[in-house]
């Protein structure tokens, strides 16, 4: 079982790809990552948000645990995130992480998420969010394994 990340936007920029590969090659099941990159809408504002959210929703398996990244969500420290992910995987759930587009996601998709997670109250570029997310998944895996990567 892989953890799927659905992101709106173009392919990873080169500098992001290098960082993602650094962590992604170290990830092991159930946190081995599968990326689904969906192009930006050709529209703007509400219409873009609606169209992108519909395309995201169409890619989410019906039984998946949806974790939406949004600056208005709950903030986890790394050990809490590790425990949270471990509990979800222990239930046999596939996790789908969503990184919406520039206009965010619809309220319907927001409500569909089991967890809305904020990396920070700051807003980051979407390319950087991809890298931070991949590193945090690796960090969570290392915390769960009791490895020395994360220092308290």
pLDDT tens readout for residues 35-93: 999 999 999 999 999 999 999 999 999 999 999 999 999 999 999 999 999 999 999 99
For 3-145, which CATH superfamily applies?
SPOUT methyltransferase, trefoil knot domain (3.40.1280.10)
pTM for the structure as a whole: 0.95
The reported pLDDT for the residue numbered 1 is 63
> What secondary structure, in 3-state letters, does the chain show?
CCEEEEEECCCCCHHHHHHHHHHHCCCCCCCCEEEEEECCCCCCHHHHHHHHHHHHHHCCCCCCEEEEEEEEEEECCHHHHHHHHHHHHHCCCCEEEEECECCECCHHHHHHCCEEEECCCCCCCHHHHHHHHHHHHHHHHHHHHCCCCCCC
Please check the confidence at residue 152 and state whether its pLDDT lies above 80: no
Domain parsing of the chain, residue ranges = 3-145
């Amino acid at each position: 079982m892989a953890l799927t990340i659905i992101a709106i936007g173009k392919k990873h920029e080169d500098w992001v790809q290098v960082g993602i590969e650094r962590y992604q090659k170290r990830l092991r099941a159930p946190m081995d990552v599968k990326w689904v990159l969906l192009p930006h809408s050709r529209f703007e504002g509400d219409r873009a948000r609606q169209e992108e959210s519909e395309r995201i929703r169409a890619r989410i398996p019906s039984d998946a645990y949806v974790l939406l990244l949004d600056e208005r969500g709950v903030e986890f420290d790394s050990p809490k995130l590790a425990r949270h992910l471990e509990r979800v995987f222990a239930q046999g759930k596939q996790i789908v992480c969503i990184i919406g587009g520039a206009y965010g996601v619809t309220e319907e998709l927001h409500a569909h998420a089991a967890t809305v997670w904020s990396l920070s109250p700051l807003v980051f570029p979407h390319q950087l969010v991809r890298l931070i997310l991949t590193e945090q998944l690796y960090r969570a895996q290392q915390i769960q394994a009791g490895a020395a990567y994360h220092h308290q």
